[in-house]
Structure formats: structure tokens, C-alpha cells
């Protein structure tokens, strides 16, 4: 069979050689272009560096001469020098120096690393996982989260985990109450404020599982008052009140309103130390928030503080308030510590106001100036100022309700429960009150009594001790019992070298 005819389009050997030659020439041209581009880039970089160096020198000369690149006088810039400890100090003569001849003032150059260098803080470490903690038991459910007891796997320390309540329908993310609580607790460091250790997240859906790791405190005051058969002693009440006032003074000194002070938010450990907790309603405030004379537009919501501890100005719809709302709550806590029951247990806002007016008297223009300008006052029907209810004194009511309280204690409690917010003492003034200097003095924290912890699932110990005989019960008959062996062989006992008495 004859061989197949070769196609006339097949590549011959000379065609292959020609293609190889063209490829090599193309590669040489591309290599030349690349080398030329590199050389050009080097020249441009060298030229740019030379121009930048020349411009920097010109600017330095112009700065020394007080003119810019266009010959105009340059702006005077004040620089803040730094001290040896890193803190900034104000420059002398406003940051400029006067010439010896009293002529033109010159700019003092800032040292290297001065005011013009903006240094950003390092990025925070990511939140750890909640799986590092072993849950022990649930404690309680609050208005803004669930609280449970857990143990750190690495250190074995027992802590409290508070999981923030997040609304699934809310697409705004973490609520502002949770953000405020985290921010405020991170900014606070005081022995009477609960400590925030860290913020942890869940592994599955971190945005839905944000937990605050708080120090574990064994008790809350409300649970202790419910279980106590008798109220606290006067010295113990003073111990708790002084710590509460110290914590509130710290918060107010840092422009923080708690806005939910009550006995269930006051924790007590087994060393007699009180700590303020639950900052879900807390927030920063300023003088603009409390003064109604300025033209600011900052308003605060009156729907804060648990009803039984809410100040009368909040019940009347005040939109500008400050530290006195917390001090009213402190006064309600004071009365609750004395009787083991909340002082003003109103069923609703109107009933709460009625109970307040029954204890403190009906407000008048003399006892509470300007109260008629509050929004909810126009809906009230108050008795005339000449009625016995209007002339009722808070001190008289407090003395009648707490007959065992001293005169100084009555004065302090009545001032805390003053209808006029301006007449309530501050936390610092409360600490310096005469009530704490009178006997009995405040009991030392180390001597404070301890209680079984419900949060720690501790049970009250029951000792197997005999009980007293019941009234009317028949006496037990011993019957015939032989006691002769009790005193047997007493003569073999070792006798000391003492003396003996003999009757004569």
C-alpha cells in the first residue's frame, strides 16, 4: 500500500527553525524593555529623594525665618513639651519665645515625638470563649441578664457569669444598656463596686452569647433581710450605709448615675464588704443634664429606678435630674435596713406618690420650690397648703415610724427623703454626718456576721444538739440503772503532789 500523501500545510524543519528564531528575538526585546524600566525607576526614585531632601531643608529654613514656601508668614503653632515622666506640661509664654530685643516672637520647635505624632493604641485582644469556664449553678435572672456561678478551668477561681439579654428581633446588635454596663464597669475600680474581670463570648453565635465575667459575691442584701429573724444591729446598719455611701460617692465623683439602687443590687461577701452591682440602667451625666436654666437639649428618661426606690421628681416626670435620685434610693435602703421590709411599697406610680406624701408630707411651694413646673403635677389634686397633710413634717413621721433611731439618724434619714432634691445631702456629706460618729460606732467588717450563701448553694448547718424540754411533757423515768462501775478502780489513778483538805 502506498504511503499517505503529506499535507502541504505540514511544518517543515525550516519553518520550525524560523519560529524559534522569532521567539528568541522577542524575548531579547522584552528583556531590554524590562531593564530600561528598572533603570528609569531608579533614576526617578533618586530624583524624588533629592527633591524631598531639598524641600525639607527649605521648609526648615522657612520655619526658622517664620515664612512658608511662598514667602508668606507661617502660622504659629504651639507645641506642648513633655516632662521626664511622659506627661505634658503647658509651655511657657504660650509656646513662643520673645527675642531679646523685644522684637518678633518665634516658634519653639517641638522635640521629636511631641504633639504632632499621633500614636494609636494597640488593638485589644479578642474575647476568650466561655468554654474556658465550667458552669456550677444558676443564681438568678435579672431585668437585663441571667447570672450564674462558674469556675475558671485554668485557675480554679469561682466567678459570676452574667449573660446579656439580646432581643432576636432587634437588628441593632448589642443593646445600649449592655454597652453602658461594660464601659462603666471597665472604668470603675473601687472596693465597693463589683469588679469586671473580662467579657467572653459563646462559640456558636458570639453576638447572641455575650457574657460578663464578674467577681463572685456570696450574698445580696435583699436575700439576707428576708431570711434574718431580726433586723441588723445599729452598728451593722452603719457599716453597710458607710460602704454604700462610699461607693455612691465614687460613682458620682466620676459623673456616673446608677439609677437603680436597691437591696437586691447590693452584694455582701463573707468578709462584711458591700459591693454595688447591676449597672444596666447606669449612665454618664453632666451639668447640662441636671440644669434646666441652660439652653441644652439633653433630656434623660424619667422611667428609671425600681418603683419602690424611685424619687418623687421622677414620678412627676422630671427630664433633668442628677445625683439626688440616687440619694433618695439610699434613703429608702436606709429605712429597709432598719425594718427588713421595703419602706415605700407602692402598687403603681400613683400609689407610690401617695405613700411618699403620707410619709414626707404634701409638697408646697415652701417645701419644694418649683415642683409645679414638672409635667405630671397638673394631673394631681393636692390639698391646700393650710391642711394638716401639707404641714406634716418628714422628721416627725420618721421619728414616729422608727422610734429606736437616734436623733442624728432621724435627721439623716429625713434629709435623704426630702421632697426637694436640692435639700438632699450628697454622698460625701452623708459620710461626714454626725450619725456615724455617735455610739454605737460602725462594726468592723471583719467582725460582721456571716450567713449561708444561697448563690453558692450553701445550706444552714444543723447541729445534733438536744432541745429544751417541752412544756407539759411527762418526766422520763430512769428505772433501775447501775452506776457502780463508773467510779470503779479510781484508787489506781496517778495522783499528783498537791495537797488535800481534811475536815476537822
Output the nine-digit C-alpha cell for 179. Answer: 454597652
CA distance 172 to 333: 36
CA distance 262 to 336: 10
Helix 394-401 with 407-416: angle, nearest 10 deg: 120
User: Coil, helix or strand for 89?
Assistant: coil
| Backbone phi, psi, residue 413, to 5° | -65, -40
Give the list of residues 6+ apart from residue 467 with CB closer than 8 angstroms, or none.
none
Of 269, 194, 228, 198, nearest in space to 456 by CA: 269
**Distances from the Cα of 339 to the Cα of 47, 225, 254, 335, 342, angstroms:** 87, 9, 32, 7, 8
User: Can you say whether residue 340 is alpha, beta or left, with left for phi > 0 and alpha for psi between -120 and 50 degrees?
Assistant: left
Within 10 Å of residue 56's Cβ, how many Cβ atoms? 10
CA distance 213 to 480: 67
The DSSP 8-state label assigned to residue 124 in this structure reads P
In the sheet with 274-276, reading across from the earlier edge strand, the strands are 219-220, 266-268, 274-276
The dihedral built from the CA positions of residue 443, 448, 449 and 451, taken in this order, carries a sign that is: positive
The residue annotated as part of the active site, out of 61, 84, 260, 428, is 260
* DSSP secondary structure of 272-305: S-EEE---SS-EE--HHHH-SSS-------S--S
CA distance 22 to 39: 26
Within 10 Å of residue 90's Cβ, how many Cβ atoms? 9
Output the nine-digit C-alpha cell for 400. Answer: 414616729
CA distance 289 to 267: 29
Question: What DSSP element (H or E) covers 240?
Answer: helix 234-253
CA distance 397 to 401: 6
Give the list of residues 6+ apart from residue 277 with CB closer than 8 angstroms, or none.
194, 214, 217, 265, 266, 267
The verdict on whether 208 is a catalytic residue reads: no
User: Coil, helix or strand for 164?
Assistant: strand
The DSSP 8-state label assigned to residue 210 in this structure reads E
Question: What DSSP element (H or E) covers 226?
Answer: helix 221-227
Task: Supply the residues annotated as catalytic.
Answer: 260
Amino acid at each position: 500500500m502506498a504511503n499517505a500523501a503529506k499535507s502541504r500545510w505540514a511544518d517543515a524543519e525550516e519553518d520550525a527553525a524560523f519560529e524559534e528564531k522569532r521567539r528568541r528575538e522577542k524575548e531579547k526585546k522584552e528583556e531590554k524593555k524590562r531593564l530600561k524600566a528598572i533603570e528609569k525607576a531608579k533614576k526617578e526614585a533618586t530624583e524624588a529623594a533629592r527633591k524631598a531632601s531639598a524641600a525639607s531643608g527649605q521648609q526648615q529654613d522657612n520655619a526658622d525665618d517664620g515664612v512658608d514656601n511662598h514667602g508668606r508668614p507661617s502660622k504659629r503653632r504651639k507645641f506642648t513639651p513633655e516632662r521626664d515622666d511622659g506627661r505634658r506640661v503647658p509651655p511657657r509664654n504660650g509656646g513662643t519665645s520673645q527675642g531679646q530685643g523685644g522684637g518678633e516672637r518665634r516658634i519653639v520647635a517641638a522635640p521629636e515625638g511631641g504633639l504632632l505624632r499621633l500614636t494609636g493604641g494597640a488593638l485589644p485582644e479578642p474575647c476568650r470563649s466561655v468554654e474556658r469556664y465550667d458552669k456550677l449553678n444558676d443564681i438568678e435572672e435579672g431585668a437585663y441578664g441571667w447570672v450564674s456561678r462558674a469556675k475558671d478551668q485554668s485557675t480554679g477561681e469561682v466567678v459570676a457569669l452574667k449573660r446579656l439579654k439580646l432581643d432576636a428581633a432587634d437588628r441593632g446588635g448589642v443593646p445600649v444598656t449592655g454597652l453602658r454596663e461594660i464601659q462603666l464597669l471597665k472604668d470603675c475600680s473601687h472596693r465597693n463596686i463589683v469588679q469586671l474581670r473580662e467579657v467572653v463570648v459563646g462559640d456558636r453565635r458570639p453576638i447572641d452569647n455575650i457574657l460578663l465575667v464578674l467577681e463572685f459575691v456570696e450574698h445580696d442584701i435583699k436575700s439576707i433581710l428576708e431570711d434574718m429573724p431580726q433586723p441588723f444591729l445599729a452598728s451593722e446598719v452603719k457599716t453597710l450605709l458607710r460602704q454604700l455611701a462610699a461607693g455612691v460617692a465614687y460613682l458620682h465623683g466620676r459623673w456616673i448615675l446608677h439609677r437603680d439602687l436597691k437591696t437586691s443590687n447590693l452584694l455582701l461577701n463573707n468578709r462584711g464588704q458591700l459591693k454595688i452591682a447591676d449597672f444596666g440602667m447606669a449612665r454618664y451625666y453632666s451639668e447640662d443634664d441636671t440644669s434646666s436654666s441652660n439652653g441644652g437639649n439633653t433630656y434623660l428618661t424619667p422611667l428609671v429606678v425600681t418603683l419602690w426606690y424611685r424619687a418623687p421628681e421622677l414620678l412627676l416626670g422630671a427630664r433633668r435630674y442628677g445625683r439626688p435620685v440616687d440619694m433618695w434610693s439610699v434613703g429608702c435602703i436606709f429605712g429597709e435596713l432598719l425594718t427588713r421590709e421595703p419602706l415605700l411599697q407602692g402598687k403603681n406610680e400613683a400609689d407610690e406618690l401617695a405613700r411618699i406624701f403620707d410619709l414626707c408630707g404634701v409638697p408646697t411651694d415652701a417645701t419644694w420650690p418649683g415642683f409645679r413646673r414638672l409635667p405630671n403635677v397638673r394631673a394631681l389634686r393636692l390639698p391646700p397648703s393650710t391642711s394638716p397633710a401639707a404641714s406634716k413634717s418628714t422628721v416627725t413621721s420618721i421619728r414616729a415610724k422608727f422610734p429606736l433611731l437616734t436623733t442624728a439618724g432621724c435627721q439623716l434619714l429625713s434629709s435623704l427623703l426630702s421632697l426637694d432634691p436640692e435639700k438632699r445631702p450628697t454622698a460625701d456629706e452623708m459620710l461626714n454626718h454626725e450619725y456615724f460618729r455617735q455610739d454605737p460606732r460602725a462594726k468592723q467588717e471583719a467582725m460582721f456576721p456571716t450567713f449561708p450563701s444561697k448563690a453558692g448553694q450553701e445550706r444552714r448547718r444543723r447541729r445534733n444538739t438536744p432541745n429544751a424540754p417541752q412544756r407539759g411533757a411527762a418526766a422520763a423515768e430512769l428505772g433501775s440503772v447501775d452506776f457502780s462501775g463508773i467510779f470503779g478502780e479510781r484508787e489506781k489513778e496517778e495522783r499528783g503532789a498537791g495537797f488535800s483538805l481534811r475536815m476537822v
